[in-house]
Amino acid sequence: MKLIGFFRSGASYRVRIGLNLKGLTAEHAFRHLRKNEHKAADYLAVNPQGLVPTLFTDSGEALTQSIAILEWLDETHPTPSFLPKDPLQRARVRAFALAIACDVHPVQNLGVLNKLKAYGLDEAKANQWAKETNYDGLAACELMLAKEKGPFCFGAEPTLADICLVPQLVNARRFGADVSGFKRILE
Mean pLDDT of 93-112: 95
User: Quick one: average pLDDT of 158-184?
Assistant: 97
Instruction: Report the chain's mean pLDDT, rounded to a whole number.
Output: 96
Read off the pLDDT of residues 3-38 as tens digits, 9 standing for 90 and up: 999 999 999 999 999 999 999 999 999 999 999 999
Please give the pLDDT value at position 132. 97
The CA distances from residue 65 to 69, 89, 101, 173, 183, in Å, are: 6, 23, 10, 24, 30
Mean pLDDT of 122-147: 97
Give the pLDDT band (50/70/90) at residue 88: very high
What pLDDT is recorded for position 141? 98
